[in-house]
Amino acid sequence: MPVDTDTVREMASLARLSIPDDRLEGVAADMRTILDFMGEISNWEGSPAPAAPATRRRTDTEHEPDGRALIEAAADVDAGEVVVPPIKGAS
Partner 1 sequence: MEAAIIAGAVRLGSRRALDVVKEALDRAERAQHLGAFTELHPEHALACAARIDAQVAAGNNPGRLAGVPIAIKDNIAHAGMPMTAASRILRGYTAPRTATALARLEAEGAVVIGRTNMDEFGMGSSGENSALGPTLNPVDTKHVPGGSSSGSAAAVAAGVVPLALGSDTGGSVRQPASFCGVVGLKPTYGRISRSGLLAFASSLDQIGPMARSVRDVAIATHIMAGEDPLDSTTLRSQMGTMAAERKPDLSGVTIGLPEECWKPSDLGDVHRTVRAAIDGLEALGARVRQVQIPSLSAAIPTYYLLTSAEAASNLSRFDGIRYGDRAVSDDLIDTYTRTRSDGLGSEVQRRILLGTFALAEGWADDLYRRANAVRARMRAEIDHALTDTDALMMPTAPTTAFRLGEKHTDPIQMYLSDIFTTPPSLTGHPALSVPAGTVNGLPVGAQIVTRHHDEPTAMRLGMAIHGR
d(CA 22, CA 66): 56
Instruction: Determine which residue in the list 21, 80, 82, 91 makes contact with partner 1, applying CB under 8 A.
Output: 82
AA identity, residue 14? L
Burial class (CB in 10 A: 0-12, 13-18, 19+), 8: buried
Binding-residue pattern over the window 60 to 79 for partner 1, x denoting contact by CB under 8 A: xxxx-xxx-xx-xxxx----
Integer Cα distance of 67 and 75 in angstroms: 14
* 5, 22, 24, 44: residue in contact with partner 1 (rule CB under 8 A): 44
Q: Which residues bind partner 1 (CB under 8 A)?
A: 3, 7-8, 11-12, 14-19, 27, 30-31, 33-35, 37-45, 47, 49-53, 55-63, 65-67, 69-70, 72-75, 82, 84-88
